[in-house]
Structure 1
């Protein structure tokens, strides 16, 4: 019973560490992307 709980805990910790490592785009990144798109459209 203890091993099952420990395994589930370990899987939960691993899954949260992989999820938290994702790159999160900020509003500044979105604005920069729009500015780049506008510059490309003007050229």
Structure 2
């Protein structure tokens, strides 16, 4: 019986050590991150359009 108790204590301790504690983001942090990601995506799309326009104007010369 004693060995079984020690086994459960050891397994419980191991589970506590292997469980990570992540910081949860608040709603405002999630919104801010989404806004930043959207802004980055818009900038990337604008850069792609600018590159395409430059390529087209170079081909027409």
Q: Please report the TM-score for the alignment, with normalisation by the length of structure 2.
A: 0.48
CA RMSD between the two structures: 1.9
Gaps of 5+ in 1: none
Q: Is 1:26 aligned to residue 25 of structure 2?
A: yes
Q: Please report the TM-score for the alignment, with normalisation by the length of structure 1.
A: 0.58
Highest CA radius of gyration, 1 or 2? 2
Q: Is 1:11 aligned to residue 11 of structure 2?
A: yes
Gaps of 5+ in 2: 44-61
1:37 Cα deviation after fit: 0.9
2:41 alignment partner in structure 1: 41
Q: Provide the aligned length of Structure 1 versus Structure 2.
A: 41
